[in-house]
């Protein structure tokens, strides 16, 4: 849809009126907005629209075409800052002047017929730098000849030579590292991507660390800290690092396309039930099973004593009476339970059969105990004390620590829970910041060194379409294109 903007707007029109005019003309399908002249009034209107950012790529529904007299372009447009992301095409109209040869320009529409029209774009990489002029096409109305540049805007504007960008970064190995070389540089995974981009687009850059060592968050006075604050105050042009995409940060800075999904884990001390001690040898069997085993030994020895009494009364035997006492029988059966041999063998058929049956039962029980003990010592069954952040708050015996100036600090602060807010107030003072950073770095190194051992996790992250989903065993927070997944991990 084509719309002649200058028919309905002038340099006196407010930006709000211009936006309403553009919305009414696009109808959601985009529009070509034509500025009919670049005279003084037209340039005043162009300056106002340019200052409002409506020429930028963020508003791709609106394309702009400016009709210009050929002789005015170099004089008027090169002196005006047109950002590199502008969507303005200039149509240079060249006429045949009656007092000049063909090809000379004349701004008077009655001076002669149009010799040719050239479409071009002008942009600046930064204020104060030389304007870049690129020809998009040329049309000759008398012959109908034409030539066009079919490359996209990203292919046409990929030479950033002469531009030096100010870059801020923060140590966050291995994703991002600050290289304190004679000429400071950025390294790590994100640093390599940035260097590749600089090589392709042919620009230079300078690197400086985060002004306060933080990623970026709102302080008690509502001011942004860290990398986000440096971008907001325009102290730097670009931040190279793994900044999580949050709603609050998106209000003051712009993000590139997300490059990876970032996950967070809760680390707790290993439950004391998993510590090895002398009671470990008793933990193989349940308390009820141990009670049944002791009762079996007592009942077996009592039964054997009773059978000895019957044999002496009804059967002729020369077995000494002192070896058949209750205490001797109890000790003999306790030795059988401990897989020890017996010093004497019963003389009667019934006592021998009972002795053999009890011994066989104890062999089976000892085999079961040995197998259970070996598996219990080799493979530990982790029972987590709680699941998810809700369980952490309800448990009440754990304290959660997060680093100030991070997206997680803002996330917990946004929950509005009194216990969380009071805990974060202590962290905001900076007393625990150095300790938490050190602990985080040690945990990272420890996990990298033991990466062959997979951590014990409560559950795996389940995909969800909900912006914020609470599970009984995990919490998944999705903000824009970064998914932040919380899992409970037990470590020493």
- pLDDT at residue 72, rounded to an integer: 66
Domain count, the chain: 4
Residues counted in the chain: 492
Last residue in a domain, options 260, 294, 327 = 260
- Distances 290 to 283, 337, 378, 465 between C-alpha atoms, Å: 10, 12, 22, 51
Query: Are residue 24 and residue 150 in the same domain, yes or no?
Result: yes
- Can you tell me the distance from the alpha carbon of 229 to that of 209, in angstroms, rounded to the nearest whole number? 13
The CA distance from 51 to 353, in Å, is 104
SS3 of 168-210: EECCECCCEEEECCCCCEEEHHHHHHHHHHHHHHCCEEEEEEC
Query: Is the peptide bond prior to 174 cis by the omega test (within 30 degrees of 0)?
Result: yes
Domain span holding position 121: 2-156
The answer to whether residue 273 is domain-embedded is no
Cα gap 325→320, rounded to integer Å: 10
* Tokens 């060194």, residue located: 449
Here the tokens at position 78 are 């090169």
Query: Is the domain of 88 the same as that of 139?
Result: yes
Same domain, 108 and 238: no
pLDDT of residue 414: 67
271 domain residue, yes or no:
no
* Separation of alpha carbons 463 and 443, rounded Å: 27
Beta strands in 350-491 (DSSP E): 468-470, 475-479, 482-491
As beta bridge partners, residue 132 has 123
Q: Is residue 429 part of a domain?
A: yes
What pLDDT is recorded for position 4? 52
Q: Which of 357, 378, 399 is the last residue of a domain?
A: 378
401 and 341 in a common domain = no
| H runs (alpha helix) in 223-314 | 226-232, 247-250, 287-314
- Domain presence at residue 267: no
Q: Which two tokens stand for residue 6?
A: 């200058």
**Do 15 and 103 belong together in one domain?**
yes
- The predicted pLDDT at position 230 comes to 94
pTM of the entire predicted model: 0.56
Residues near 187 by beta carbon (within 8 Å), at least 6 away in sequence: 176, 177, 178, 179
Reading the block at residue 300, the tokens are: 């077996």
Residue entry with tokens 């009670």: 291
Q: Looking at residue 81, what DSSP letter applies?
A: -
Does 40 share its domain with 130? yes
- Domain membership flag for residue 486: yes
Give the residue from 116, 139, 156 where a domain finishes: 156
CA distance 381 to 280: 13
DSSP β-ladder status, 146-148 and 132-139: antiparallel
399 shares its domain with 372: no
pLDDT by residue for the chain (492 residues), tens digit each? 444 555 445 555 666 776 676 666 655 556 777 887 767 777 778 888 777 777 765 555 678 888 887 666 666 777 788 888 888 888 888 887 644 444 444 455 556 788 888 888 888 888 888 888 888 899 888 888 888 888 888 888 888 988 999 999 999 888 889 998 899 999 998 899 999 999 999 999 999 999 888 888 888 888 999 999 999 999 999 999 888 888 888 889 988 888 877 777 777 777 666 566 677 778 778 888 889 989 998 998 888 888 888 877 776 655 555 566 788 888 888 888 888 877 777 777 778 888 888 889 889 988 988 888 888 777 776 777 777 777 777 777 777 777 777 777 777 776 665 555 444 444 444 444 444 444 444 444 445 444 433 333 333 333 333 333 222 222 222 232 233 333 333 333
* Residue 270 within a domain: no
CATH of the domain at 199: 3.40.190.10
Answer yes or no: is 272 within a domain: no
Q: Where are the alpha helices (DSSP H) in 239-286?
A: 247-250
Strand partners, 172: 176
Q: Is residue 218 part of a domain?
A: yes
Judgement on whether residues 450 and 427 belong to the same structural domain of the protein: yes
Same domain, 137 and 209: no
Residues 348 and 228 in one domain: no
**Residues 395 and 367 reside in one and the same domain:** no
Cβ-contact 165, 237 below 8 angstroms: yes
Could you tell me if 120 and 181 lie in one domain? no
pLDDT of residue 274: 59
**Rounded distance between C-alpha atoms, residue 287 and residue 86, angstroms:** 77
Inter-CA distances, 178 with 186, 231, 317, 437, Å: 5, 18, 93, 16
Beta strands in 342-451 (DSSP E): none
């Amino acid at each position: 849809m084509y719309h002649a903007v200058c028919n309905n707007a002038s340099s006196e029109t407010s930006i709000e009126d211009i936006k309403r005019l553009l919305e009414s003309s696009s109808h959601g399908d985009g529009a070509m907005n034509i500025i009919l002249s670049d005279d003084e009034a037209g340039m005043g209107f162009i300056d106002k629209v340019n200052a409002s950012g409506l020429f930028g790529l963020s508003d791709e529904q609106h394309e702009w075409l400016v009709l210009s007299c050929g002789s005015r372009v170099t004089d008027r447009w090169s002196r005006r800052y047109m950002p590199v992301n502008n969507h303005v095409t200039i149509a240079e109209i060249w006429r045949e002047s009656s007092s000049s040869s063909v090809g000379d320009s004349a701004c008077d529409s009655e001076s002669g017929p149009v010799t040719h029209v050239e479409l071009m774009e002008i942009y600046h990489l930064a204020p104060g730098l030389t304007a870049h002029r690129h020809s998009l096409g040329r049309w000759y109305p008398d012959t109908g000849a034409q030539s066009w540049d079919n490359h996209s805007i990203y292919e046409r504007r990929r030479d950033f030579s002469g531009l030096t960008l100010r870059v801020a970064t923060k140590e966050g190995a291995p994703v991002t590292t600050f290289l304190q070389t004679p000429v400071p540089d950025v390294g790590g995974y994100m640093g390599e991507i940035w260097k590749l981009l600089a090589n392709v687009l042919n620009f230079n850059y300078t690197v400086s660390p985060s002004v306060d060592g933080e990623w970026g968050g709102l302080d008690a006075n509502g001011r942004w800290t860290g990398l986000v604050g440096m971008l907001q105050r325009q102290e730097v042009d670009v931040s190279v690092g793994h900044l999580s995409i949050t709603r609050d940060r998106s209000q003051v800075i712009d993000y590139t396309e997300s490059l990876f999904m970032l996950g967070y884990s809760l680390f707790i001390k290993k439950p004391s039930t998993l510590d090895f001690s002398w009671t470990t040898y008793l933990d193989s069997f349940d308390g009820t099973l141990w009670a049944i085993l002791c009762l079996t030994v007592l009942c077996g020895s009592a039964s054997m004593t009773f059978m000895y009494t019957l044999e002496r009364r009804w059967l002729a035997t020369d077995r000494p009476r002192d070896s058949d006492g209750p205490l001797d029988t109890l000790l003999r059966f306790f030795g059988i339970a401990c897989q020890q041999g017996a010093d004497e063998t019963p003389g009667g058929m019934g006592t021998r059969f009972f002795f053999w049956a009890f011994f066989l039962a104890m062999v089976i029980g000892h085999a079961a105990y040995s197998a259970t003990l070996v598996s219990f010592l080799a493979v530990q069954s982790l029972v987590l004390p709680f699941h998810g952040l809700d369980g952490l708050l309800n448990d009440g015996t754990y304290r959660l620590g997060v680093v100030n100036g991070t997206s997680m600090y803002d996330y917990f602060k946004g929950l509005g829970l009194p216990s969380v807010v009071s805990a974060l107030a202590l962290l905001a003072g900076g007393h625990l910041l150095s300790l938490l950073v050190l602990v985080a770095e040690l945990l990272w190194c420890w996990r990298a060194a033991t990466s062959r051992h997979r951590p014990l996790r409560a559950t795996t992250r389940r995909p969800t379409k909900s912006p914020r989903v609470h599970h009984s065993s995990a919490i998944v927070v999705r903000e824009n294109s970064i998914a932040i997944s919380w899992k409970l991990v037990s470590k020493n």
